[in-house]
A and B are shown apart, each in its own frame.
Chain A
């Protein structure tokens, strides 16, 4: 058993729902107890869909268990098919139904419905949401692309205008809606036709003709990798490996696509909207140089973000991790390239400890890292699912392509104290608007004392006491951190000096100094210790 408060991924049937909800005419019959319909509100509330997900739950109850649940299942299947008239029916079990060992696939097939029935085997006690989405998409492609006898197999490549499929976008995907728009723009510039985008927006008939494309563009390997590999084997469709997140990756992506399509990449490379490189070179961005950034998310977004952070913003990657083990190998390789320890875990307490230990100046992560960073008073931007409702914005907000790179620049730099503001905070730290307690304008808690007159003894509001006050079920390292605070005493003089250090780096200075003092067995921290430590840790 795993003790868990927060999970990065839902169970695998949520992944199946993401695929089914993304498509237009498939229906998912889920053998599940009362209550599992909670998942509907992820789609209707977080993604703000105006339609119920195409899922029928059999809703078995305790009193049904002793009896034959087959009838319940089959009548639900009959009703769903009659009411929703789908082109294909997905059938599967949620975690509880997996235990009662009904056979949804067998029961549905025994009904001899006149539409394709796609059974899903999603092991709920060993796999998770992304795996469920990937497996579901793969089974749909496998069943429907093979099942259509009118389609020529294998497809004839080299049609007059090259055709590609866009694979991976799904319901509840982080910025999938807008990424599709950006990629479509690039393909239009290259003169490449989009054959099918799937699962998002695809019908069963679209999947049936997926083999007509010359190659596949895999936008989200977490969802599309398995299907793309199957299509490569069975339809001789090569697929792209570059994820077009970031300016440079977008250029690489365009070249890769152009090579696969045998077209000239130039028309797509000269896009005027690529403002990110100039923004990053402009002098106001100088202060971004060497900012330490901790990155965590799904492997695809985390690896792409690390490249952007280092090469395009001049940050230093001080931590890199992902929660999905399926892509752990890719993440390990990326971590090695950045010279950091890979962090592969789905335990948010481990991530919290790693962030606290790395002392980053910026965290790029999921909704969870946003909360960790808030607790530690570190600026943060969201780069990956899981995300909350505010990260399904009304405005166009892609991560991919050149416009995506613009969005990344804005959304990552915005939470940081901008160069000028940082400078002012240091220079005028005793000024009433810039004193310790005032904080930075981008942090909401900064306004608490903004109108109070400066007082040299004012207790700073934003002291990032990282290791204390955390969730008591946090591992032991947190407790050790607070022990240190009691072991090493600060002289009054050093304490006063510490308060002159801007609040957003003070926590790090305090910790570094204490660690330095402890390692040298110093009983107290004097002014000299403070500056010795500063020199020791200077980078």
Chain B
């Protein structure tokens, strides 16, 4: 009863055609990932090499957090930096030296590429190597790109974590099988999941990212990894290149999603089925009880996801299978078929799956299908509300604790609240 019952093939949309569009995309670039990544790695600093636009974006996305001693900044490229590349490299070195002199507690410095730095082909990986010579072993200098031309929103985290994989120490050949949980999670959620995994009897567990940026877990052929987030295609590939084995699982949203996710690990580590059921039962029951609060508001309601974070498919699956919502269209900025296979299989075959975006055309489809709730970015939410649509702004789903058993109720509430508010307001 706990194992994901294979759904009838007609119900899934694993092989359904995907609507691929290109045009204006109303999405964030990968730089935005810094806003939550720097909270997760308190000893790391993120230096974006970009334009005033990049700095302005981070400021807008970070909101008031920007003033709480942020560990991110932008080295703003100026006209004189564009005059010649040698100059830009010297300038970058100067900025990095100044920064590290003032922040001696920093252990890892990420040089984050942006659209302007990529277009002028400022070689940040070479800069990272050059600067590493001057700052190792005190500071590790790592490079990745969060540019909009290459990454969408959460893909910034993927690029960041993938850049850390080469720094993970090799796992000794005789080492015990290790479980690796991949994806930045709020500390409280990570602790809950680690507790459950250990209670199952899996003791050799690592997390990527680690809370101490230099304390990276080892990786090797005896590593089995679970993705906690759906947007980690490059990171998974990099781990596989080092011999680690991906454990296919739905993502840990809701009572069933979390159960199935843990189950994938339990099976890989040969955990006794009865022990698995006994271990997850209390959390699973608690999650189901918590979901009941929102069910009345959500059951039978239709939902339309605009592309944002790649969380759309797993969240739609959760809302459909556990709360009875009806997905109309699920937009995702990027569809990783393999990682999403178990999610797609659980979605009703009537669902339109779209990848990429032409925002104006997609909004036409929102208007035509009149969903009960539309999940979208903050640039679209108020305009849609003004047209009479109820919306849930998507970014909150990335910043809030939503994974695991004990957040299932909160996750449902995030979708129930706008509908309840629509019903209570008399203005």
Contact pattern, A 460-473, Cβ under 8 Å of B = 1, otherwise 0? 00000000000111
Smallest CB separation, B341 vs chain A (Å): 25
Query: Looking across the interface, which residue of chain B has its beta carbon closest to that of A370?
Result: B67
- Contact A37-B66, Cβ < 8 Å, known A10-B56, A59-B25: no
Q: Are A6 and B59 in contact (CB under 8 A)?
A: yes
Considering the complex, which residues of chain A in the window 6-50 have a beta carbon less than 8 Å from any beta carbon of chain B?
A: 6-7, 9-11, 13-14, 33-42, 44-45, 48-50
B88 CB–A CB distance under 8 Å: yes
Assembly CA distance A4 to B115 (angstroms):
17
Q: Are A35 and B99 in contact (CB under 8 A)?
A: no
Considering the complex, which residues of chain A in the window 337-391 have a beta carbon less than 8 Å from any beta carbon of chain B?
A: 371, 375, 388
Smallest CB separation, A388 vs chain B (Å): 7
Considering the complex, which residues of chain A in the window 146-163 have a beta carbon less than 8 Å from any beta carbon of chain B?
A: none
Q: Are A4 and B74 in contact (CB under 8 A)?
A: yes
- Contact A126-B149, Cβ < 8 Å, known A94-B53, A96-B116, A388-B64: no
Q: Are B60 and A41 in contact (CB under 8 A)?
A: yes
Q: Are A125 and B119 in contact (CB under 8 A)?
A: no
Q: Are B70 and A473 in contact (CB under 8 A)?
A: no
B337 CB–A CB distance under 8 Å: no
Q: Are A473 and B24 in contact (CB under 8 A)?
A: no
Q: Are A37 and B24 in contact (CB under 8 A)?
A: yes
Contact pattern, B 149-179, Cβ under 8 Å of A = 1, otherwise 0? 1101000000000000000000000000000
Contact of A35 among B70, B78, B148 (CB under 8 A): B148
Contact of A36 among B53, B73, B119, B386 (CB under 8 A): B53
B282 CB–A CB distance under 8 Å: no
Count contacts on A: residues with CB < 8 A to the other chain.
56
Say which one of B135-143, B289-297, B377-385, B412-420 lies at the interface with A: B377-385
Q: Are A35 and B28 in contact (CB under 8 A)?
A: yes
- Contact A44-B119, Cβ < 8 Å, known A36-B148, A38-B57, A125-B77: no
Q: Are B75 and A1 in contact (CB under 8 A)?
A: yes
Query: Looking across the interface, which residue of chain B has its beta carbon closest to that of A123?
Result: B79
Q: Are B67 and A371 in contact (CB under 8 A)?
A: yes
Assembly CA distance A471 to B73 (angstroms):
12
Assembly CA distance A51 to B379 (angstroms):
9
Considering the complex, which residues of chain B in the window 303-327 have a beta carbon less than 8 Å from any beta carbon of chain A?
A: none
Q: Are A7 and B56 in contact (CB under 8 A)?
A: yes
- Contact A99-B52, Cβ < 8 Å, known A35-B28, A61-B150: no
Q: Are B78 and A126 in contact (CB under 8 A)?
A: yes
Q: Are B51 and A37 in contact (CB under 8 A)?
A: no
Query: Looking across the interface, which residue of chain B has its beta carbon closest to that of A75?
Result: B23
Q: Are B383 and A49 in contact (CB under 8 A)?
A: yes
Query: Looking across the interface, which residue of chain A has its beta carbon closest to that of B118?
Result: A62
Q: Are B149 and A60 in contact (CB under 8 A)?
A: yes
Chain B residues in 8 Å Cβ range of A34? 25, 27, 29, 148-149, 152
Considering the complex, which residues of chain A in the window 216-245 have a beta carbon less than 8 Å from any beta carbon of chain B?
A: none
Query: Looking across the interface, which residue of chain B has its beta carbon closest to that of A53?
Result: B379
Assembly CA distance A117 to B72 (angstroms):
39
Smallest CB separation, B122 vs chain A (Å): 10
- Contact A3-B95, Cβ < 8 Å, known A14-B56, A33-B115, A42-B60: yes
Assembly CA distance A61 to B334 (angstroms):
13
- Contact A10-B53, Cβ < 8 Å, known A34-B152, A37-B24, A96-B116: yes
Chain B residues in 8 Å Cβ range of A65? 119, 149
B76 CB–A CB distance under 8 Å: yes
Q: Are B82 and A125 in contact (CB under 8 A)?
A: yes
Smallest CB separation, B396 vs chain A (Å): 13
Smallest CB separation, B125 vs chain A (Å): 16
Contact pattern, B 18-32, Cβ under 8 Å of A = 1, otherwise 0? 000001111111111
B216 CB–A CB distance under 8 Å: no
Query: Looking across the interface, which residue of chain B has its beta carbon closest to that of A3?
Result: B95
Q: Are B51 and A95 in contact (CB under 8 A)?
A: yes
Q: Are B383 and A99 in contact (CB under 8 A)?
A: no
Chain B residues in 8 Å Cβ range of A11? 51-53, 56
- Contact A48-B382, Cβ < 8 Å, known A1-B81, A33-B29, A99-B119: yes
B120 CB–A CB distance under 8 Å: yes
Q: Are B76 and A1 in contact (CB under 8 A)?
A: yes
Q: Are A125 and B79 in contact (CB under 8 A)?
A: yes
Assembly CA distance A39 to B56 (angstroms):
9
Smallest CB separation, B378 vs chain A (Å): 4
Q: Are B118 and A58 in contact (CB under 8 A)?
A: no
Chain B residues in 8 Å Cβ range of A9? 52
B426 CB–A CB distance under 8 Å: no
Chain A residues in 8 Å Cβ range of B66? 5-6
Smallest CB separation, B12 vs chain A (Å): 30
Query: Looking across the interface, which residue of chain A has its beta carbon closest to that of B72?
Result: A5
Assembly CA distance A362 to B61 (angstroms):
29
Query: Looking across the interface, which residue of chain A has its beta carbon closest to that of B333?
Result: A34
Q: Are A10 and B52 in contact (CB under 8 A)?
A: yes
Query: Looking across the interface, which residue of chain A has its beta carbon closest to that of B103?
Result: A472
Contact of B69 among A4, A13, A33, A471 (CB under 8 A): A471
- Contact A100-B119, Cβ < 8 Å, known A37-B27, A125-B79: yes
Smallest CB separation, A345 vs chain B (Å): 14
Chain B residues in 8 Å Cβ range of A96? 51, 53, 115-116, 119, 148-149
Assembly CA distance A42 to B119 (angstroms):
26
- Contact A2-B76, Cβ < 8 Å, known A35-B31, A95-B53: yes
Assembly CA distance A36 to B53 (angstroms):
8
Q: Are B99 and A125 in contact (CB under 8 A)?
A: no
Q: Are B24 and A59 in contact (CB under 8 A)?
A: yes
- Contact A57-B24, Cβ < 8 Å, known A1-B77, A125-B51, A125-B82: yes
Assembly CA distance A45 to B225 (angstroms):
39
B360 CB–A CB distance under 8 Å: yes
B366 CB–A CB distance under 8 Å: no
Q: Are A1 and B91 in contact (CB under 8 A)?
A: yes
Contact pattern, B 100-137, Cβ under 8 Å of A = 1, otherwise 0? 00110100000000011011100000000000000000
Contact of B378 among A41, A58, A94 (CB under 8 A): A41
B193 CB–A CB distance under 8 Å: no
Contact of A1 among B24, B72, B92 (CB under 8 A): B92
Contact of B120 among A39, A56, A99 (CB under 8 A): A99
B421 CB–A CB distance under 8 Å: no
B55 CB–A CB distance under 8 Å: yes
Q: Are A50 and B386 in contact (CB under 8 A)?
A: yes
Smallest CB separation, B166 vs chain A (Å): 22
A194 CB–B CB distance under 8 Å: no
Assembly CA distance A502 to B126 (angstroms):
56
Assembly CA distance A4 to B54 (angstroms):
10
Chain B residues in 8 Å Cβ range of A59? 23-25
- Closest 3 A-B residue pairs measured CB to CB? A35-B29, A35-B148, A50-B386
What are 22 contact pairs spanning A and B, CB under 8 A? A1-B88, A1-B94, A1-B95, A3-B76, A3-B95, A4-B55, A6-B67, A7-B55, A10-B52, A34-B149, A35-B28, A35-B57, A37-B24, A37-B377, A38-B28, A44-B380, A79-B360, A95-B52, A96-B148, A99-B116, A472-B103, A472-B105
Q: Name 6 extra pairs, CB < 8 A, besides A35-B28, A38-B29.
A: A3-B73, A37-B24, A37-B26, A40-B378, A48-B382, A96-B149
